[in-house]
Structure 1
Amino acid sequence: MLAVLSGGGTAGHINPALALAEELTARGWEVRFAGTPEGVEARLVPAAGVPFTAFEASGFDRAHLLSLPRGVAKIAASTAKARKWFREIEPDVVVGFGGYVSIPVARAAEKAGIPVVLHEQNSVAGMANRYLAKKAEAVCLTYEHARAGLPEGASVRLTGNPVRRQVVEADRASGRALFGLGEDDFMLLVFGGSLGARHINQAVVAMKDDLLARPHLHVVHITGPKELDAVREALALTPDEERRWHVMGYQDRMGETMAAADAIVSRAGATSLAEISALAIPAVLVPFPYATEDHQTTNARSYVEAGCAFMVPDAELETESFAQAVSLLIDDEAVREAQRDAARAQKTTEAAAMLADVVEAAAQPVARAVQ
């Protein structure tokens, strides 16, 4: 059996696709990936050992009307290219994870009679998934809230957001060894996503004296590459303080780093939240307020309401609300244990298998007409 996965634009589309690729490969499937030549997928997918084929696709800017016909022309050309490709490889199913590139790939599948499954990572469905949902065999959601943005008649399944095995199976002891942590040390992990989060950095820096007053506390602070120098300057750590406040611009061993954490401060992007949930890490979530339709706040809300984390609006980072939430998470083991139990109840570690089940069901012998 052969599955073609497609998505692009952000790692939030690609990581769950790679998690599904791992699950399908373990079940004996062959997997290929269709993405854009310039997107992060062009780097991440081959690095994961999944064969990659590039297709041009782009959206349009309403402020620049000429971008619309150019975008449409790219999608039309890529649809034709995908149909030709499908005649060569004969996939059994196509799975779209969002991003403009999934449109021509899914449209080509529809025209060839190949079943299409969609996966939506966020609480607000993206444009590509909304467009493709009506004809899809199934639309798999992370959050029930995303159903509201789909067309009537869409076949919806709630599967959660798949997380890659390198995160789910990450070793806590190896992660703690990275930072020289002992069993009695407490690790607070701070990060704002791949590009960092200036406002979170500033708020955590402001808590420096309070945090370091706890003798067994270590802060692992991933600032984002562009923020590293500014954070180092603002912290002005002494050599003794540097042993407990680990500052870095980027961390390529995030699975182990997260597994080592006792608590976390993070944005609420789909991938970050899924990984926090899969590892059951007590958290203070600070949704990025300028995400499309404020979807990070919606992402976080149901998770927080289930008792898995605290949420502090970005606008309150400079108030006592943020400092109190972080301090409570550090100082109260009962609060952390309650959050861990609630996170485990979300069963995020099962999301890849649940999505793979839907994909396999959709791909059962279907009369295809690959033309």
Structure 2
Amino acid sequence: MSKKTIVFTGGGSAGHVTPNIAIINELNKNDWEIKYIGSKKGIEKELIKKLEIPYFGISSGKLRRYIDIENVIDLFRVIKGCVDARRVLKKLNPNLLFSKGGFVSVPVIIAASSLKIPIFIHESDMTPGLANKISQRFATKIFTSFEEARNHFPKSKTTVIGSPIRKELLNGSKEQGIEFLNFNSFKPIITIMGGSLGAKKINETVRNSLNELTKNYQIVHLCGKGNIDGSLLGRQSYAQFEYVHEELADIIAASSMIITRGGSNAIFEFLALNKPMLIIPLTKNQSRGDQILNAKSFEEKGFAMMLEEENLTDNSLLNALETLTRNREMFITTMKKSNQSKALDVLITEINKIK
């Protein structure tokens, strides 16, 4: 029996790529040929190349909700992206296109629709981004992380499943994490991550508070590309990295708590791992406000605490961590009842139904 072909798309940030990677890692390679279409220079290219999957770069423009002269230029980039994507898809002739959103996905989805290729999309946030708002009309099936997101899509083709979790994250070793970090097993470990690009305000506040933080905790600081502070290298109870790949599962396994942005994929992963979170979402000045909605939803369900960046100070950070530590077991008990880690299995089953 000949293999079926699946093409993945999605990019612009790690959040639009890691769920695709989770699915790719679980697909049976004897049944599926796997390809990826992304932008020519986006983070998705770097992440997918590590998997040694054929990657096709296309032209992509940014989608903006406001008036800007760049919109005109980017419209032509999107049109060129449609032409690029259609040429690639005609050659690959896939059985299915799976999209995780981001600007680059729109021309790929439009091209796939014109070629009558079935299209699955997954929306991570409570409200859809502009890419998925445009893409929904072309989709065969739509999957969402949040129940609340269902209201923004056609009910007949939308299913709420949660967010696909990378299976390798579930198999981390606490002992190997502690050894890798050169930490001890006595003081609790907090992992701080501000996304693939880091987070300036979070980074500054953490470093300003280090003297107090390291009295009670050991700190793993994933500070983003170009954000290592040389003056803090070798500091006791503090380990900083731009980004970690293979060691992440072990680091999370060793962590008692997480400080994170409000990106849906990340917070669903920590939920599946029962790691109490302090969520510091991107502000409305930095985003469309989706992370704030995600964080509020998790706080209301008892999975996390939220601290808005506008209220982030050395004191508010320390106070929030003290409260999180005090109520840690309560958060873990609530998280264990959530049963929100089945999304990956659902998606694999749905993908395998494709003829």
Partner residue, 2:351: 359
Deviation of 1:226 after TM superposition, in Å, equals 4.0
Deviation of 1:218 after TM superposition, in Å, equals 1.5
- Match 1:294 to one of 274, 289, 295: 289
Q: Which has the larger radius of gyration?
A: 1
Partner residue, 2:240: 247
Partner residue, 1:116: 119
8 Å CA contact 1:189–1:221 kept in 2: the answer is yes
- Match 1:260 to one of 233, 254, 263: 254
8 Å CA contact 1:282–1:336 kept in 2: the answer is yes
* Alpha-carbon distance in structure 1 between the residues aligned to 2:94 and 2:137: 21
8 Å CA contact 1:60–1:68 kept in 2: the answer is yes
Q: TM-score, normalised by structure 1?
A: 0.84
Work out which structure has the larger RCO, using CA pairs closer than 8 Å and 6 or more positions apart in sequence: 1
Q: Within 5 A, what are the aligned runs for 1:1-371?
A: 1-25=4-28, 28-59=31-62, 63-65=67-69, 67-150=70-153, 152=154, 155-214=157-216, 217-229=217-229, 242-252=235-245, 253-289=247-283, 290-318=285-313, 320-330=315-325, 332=326, 335-361=327-353, 363=354, 365=355
Deviation of 1:18 after TM superposition, in Å, equals 1.0
Unaligned runs of 5+ in 1: 366-371
Calculate percent identity across the aligned residue pairs: 25
Partner residue, 1:369: none
8 Å CA contact 1:24–1:30 kept in 2: the answer is no
User: For 1:276-306, what per-residue CA distance to the aligned partner results, in whole angstroms no more than 9, with x for missing partners?
Assistant: 2232211111112134321111111222222
Residue type at the aligned position of 1:9? G
Deviation of 1:261 after TM superposition, in Å, equals 0.5
- The answer to which of 1-10 and 69-78 deviates more is 69-78
May I ask how many residue pairs the two structures share in their alignment? 349
Residue type at the aligned position of 2:348? A
Q: 1:149 to 1:259 in 2, by over 3 A?
A: same
Q: 1:213 to 1:36 in 2, by over 3 A?
A: closer
Residue type at the aligned position of 1:58? G
8 Å CA contact 1:121–1:142 kept in 2: the answer is yes
8 Å CA contact 1:135–1:154 kept in 2: the answer is no
User: For 1:286-336, what per-residue CA distance to the aligned partner results, in whole angstroms no more than 9, with x for missing partners?
Assistant: 112134321111111222222111111112222754322201333x3xx22
Q: 1:319 to 1:85 in 2, by over 3 A?
A: closer
- Specify the SS of the correspondent of 2:342: helix
Unaligned runs of 5+ in 2: none
Q: 1:99 to 1:221 in 2, by over 3 A?
A: closer
Deviation of 1:63 after TM superposition, in Å, equals 4.8
- The answer to which of 182-191 and 74-83 deviates more is 74-83
What is the Cα-based RMSD across aligned positions, in Å? 2.5
Deviation of 1:96 after TM superposition, in Å, equals 1.2
- Specify the SS of the correspondent of 1:94: strand
* Alpha-carbon distance in structure 2 between the residues aligned to 1:40 and 1:277: 25
Q: 1:224 to 1:340 in 2, by over 3 A?
A: same
Residue type at the aligned position of 1:261? S
